[in-house]
Structure 1
Amino acid sequence: MADYDLEALSLPDLKKMQKDIAKAISTFEDRQKAEARAKVEALARDLGYSLAELVGNETKSSRAPAAAKYRHPENPKLTWSGCGRKPQWFVEALEAGKTASDLAIS
C-alpha cells in the first residue's frame, strides 16, 4: 500500500483522494463479483461449457398473471384484472356514468 504524506497535500488533492476512495469502496463488491464470475466462466470454458449452460438463465414466474375482469368499451385490447391501481380508462368510464358491471367481461 502506498504511504502518503497527507500533511503535504493541498485541499483539492485531499478532496480528490477522498472522492476516489469513496468510489473504490462503493464499487469493491461489484469488482469482486466480476472477478469471481470471470474465474467461473474460465473454468466452465476449460470444461467445454458456457456458464449459461451450467447455471441456466431461466426465470420462472412464481404465479400466473391475473385474468382480465374488465374490458374497455371501445378498445377491447385494453383490459384490467381488477387488481392494483385502476387504469385511467376505467376511471373515466365510471365518471361518465358507467358501472363496473357495465365494463365487466362476460
Structure 2
Amino acid sequence: MSTNIENLDINQLQALKEQADALIEKKQRAKVDEAYQELLDVANSVGLSLEELIEHGRKTKKSTVKRTVAPRYRNPKNSNETWTGRGKQPRWVVSALAEGKSIDDLLI
C-alpha cells in the first residue's frame, strides 16, 4: 500500500496520524490478547490453570547457585590474601613469581 501524503494539508495529516496511532494501539491489544489465549490453551492442554502453570514455573525455575571455591594459594607475606587459582593472578602472585618463587611455593 503506497499512499501519497505529500499533497495533504496539516489537518489531514494530523487526522491520518491519529487514525494510525489508534490502529497501532488496537493491533497491539489484539496481539496481546492472542498471546494470552495461546497461554490459556497451553495451560488447558496440560490440565492446569494459567495461575498453576505460572506457579509451577516459579517453583521449578533453575537457580544459578554460585559455588565458592576453596583457595589453593596463600600469600606468604600476608596470610589473609589467598587465591583460588582461577582468573587473573593477583598482584602478590605476580610479584612472588617475579621474585623467583614458583607457583608451588604458594600452595596452601
Per the normalisation by structure 1, the TM-score is 0.39
Per the normalisation by structure 2, the TM-score is 0.39
